[in-house]
Chain A
Amino acid sequence: MTDRHSAAPDRLHSLPRYRQPHPREAASRHIVVMQSAAACASFAGELQQPLVLNEQNSNFGARLHQVLGSATVGSHLYIMGDEAFVWRIHAQARAAGMEDDEIDITRSIVGQRLVYCVHCGLTQVCGPEPLMTCVRCRVGLEVREHFSRRLGAYLGVCTNPDQPFAGVRP
């Protein structure tokens, strides 16, 4: 009875908020997943015997799958990288049964992010620019400051409502 989830008003906002991550001393196992060595945040050095996975290493996907599948309650996950990377790993960890409170995200690289096209439903990797063209339906999209934690993506809506078909019309 006592779950006071409402004590997290910051989650109601339309943009992701990145709190300052820090080592979770209560955790019994620390798992660090980084996009590259350059993405590694400085606090990672303070962790007690962390298990480190680097996307640049071979077998990264299979190892991540294996680590999440065999992890036990008490594990804490630290994800470091650009927005597209951290939210992709976040979704995988949630699907494996991790709770939000067991995951810390560090957006340590300014790089790519995910955008969801409201026209064709494709989630795609993009840069930071506010205007883009959907790679599948070719509609010109404006990326709104509206983020889905479930999809890990920003909402892309039609830039010009008078031209909802952009370059190609089927």
Chain B
Amino acid sequence: MSRALKVRVSAAKMLTPVVRELTLEPCTGPLPGFSAGSHVQVHLPGNARNAYSLTSDPSDSLHYRIAVRLQEASRGGSHYLHRHVEVGDTLQISPPANLFALHSTASLHILIAGGIGITPFMAHIAELERRQANFELHYLYRPGLSDAYVQPLQQRLGSRLHTYSCRPDLSKILRDRPLGSHVYTCGPQPLIDAVQQQAKALGWPRVRVHWEAFKGATPGQAFDLQLLRSGQRLRVGADQSLLEALESAGLQIPNLCRGGVCGQCVTRHVRGEIEHRDSFLSPSEQAEFLMPCVSRGCGPCVSLDL
């Protein structure tokens, strides 16, 4: 895995009462380039890492920008980035990785954002404008709360921006679109599910539907962990993910999304009851494997082939 980057917070501002934007600059050397739709993992106290989309223009090699929504029921990562991090502080981040790239041959890009799901689209829009590509943004938000960037977007996009304060009629957005259309959605899971269902109902094949969920690990009950190859025994705390517990013990598990979708951290489980929370494995695969970034034991002990 690539080494972590050290960055300094060069600016911070509240975009809405619950969304804080952080601008990051490198402490040494240049920042790695990134493609639109990329995210970075921000290292947080307690060995936790949260993934955030880069909202900055991919052609800007001097800064990265992220926008963090304060999550009330979370394990504290967003709270830390809202309340404790200040301008001048340094952070460790992983290099950018992209699981939500633009489709290279699409001739019309339909972007559907829900709330803080606007973040990857900010980079997409910069890239699409540079390519002079045909695109439109459908942005669903709660006015005054989760409407980050809406004013600059109105000026920038004009009639290409469609805003909604409640769930739009997705069949209107997806019906009778020309060949070459691709749809991208990012936001709360119910929105992603609805876009997928509507696309399917209108005969869209899966390859035209792109999505990114930004759920991370959520707490559960504590459990014991047995690693069969190394013979180690670990304890996974209630607020800790299984992956974080493995990393605390010095294991290096490949990972990209830390949200149960990319499939990188797949691990074989041998004994113990598992609560699967990923969106990657099929039910038959889950009988043998789990995604430690989000899934956890729901009994007293789990044994892994590690």
Contacts and interface: CB of A to CB of B under 8 A. Distances in A.
Interface of A: 1-3, 5, 24, 26-29, 68, 71-76, 96-102
Say what secondary structure dominates the interface of chain A.
Answer: loop
B205 A29 contact: no
Most chain B CB neighbours (cut-off 10 Å) among A3, A26, A71 = A3
A28 B211 CA distance: 23
A73 B174 CA distance: 9
A72 B178 contact: yes
Contacts of B179: 68, 71-73, 75, 96-98
Contacts of A97: 105, 107, 178-181
B205 A102 contact: yes
Contact of B177 (A26, A68, A73, A102): A73
Say what secondary structure dominates the interface of chain B.
Answer: loop
Interface residues of B, number: 27
Contacts of B204: 73-74
Most chain A CB neighbours (cut-off 10 Å) among B105, B205, B207, B262 = B205
Contacts of A76: 203
A98 B203 CA distance: 13
Nearest to B98: A1
B205 A99 contact: yes
B180 A1 contact: no
B261 interface: yes
Contact of A74 (B105, B180, B203, B211): B203
A148 to B, nearest CB: 17
B181 A73 contact: yes
Interface of B: 99-100, 105, 107, 174-181, 200, 202-208, 210-212, 257, 261-262, 279
Leading 4 A-B pairs by shortest Cβ distance: A97-B180, A74-B203, A1-B99, A97-B179
B110 to A, nearest CB: 10
A66 to B, nearest CB: 13
Contacts of B212: 1
Most chain B CB neighbours (cut-off 10 Å) among A26, A74, A96 = A74
A3 B205 contact: no
A2 B281 CA distance: 11
B292 to A, nearest CB: 18
Nearest to B37: A1
Contact of B207 (A28, A72, A74, A99): A99
A21 to B, nearest CB: 15
A101 B205 contact: yes
B176 A101 contact: no
B200 A26 contact: yes
Contacts of A29: 203
Given A97-B179, A101-B206, A101-B207, A1 B200 contact: no
A101 B208 CA distance: 10
B37 to A, nearest CB: 9
Contact of B203 (A1, A2, A5, A26): A26
Contacts of A75: 179, 203
Contact of A1 (B174, B175, B181, B257): B257
Nearest to A30: B203
A73 B178 contact: yes
Contact of A72 (B176, B210, B257): B176
A2 B261 contact: yes
A99 B208 contact: yes
Contacts of A72: 175-179
A98 to B, nearest CB: 5
A99 B124 CA distance: 22
A100 B179 CA distance: 12
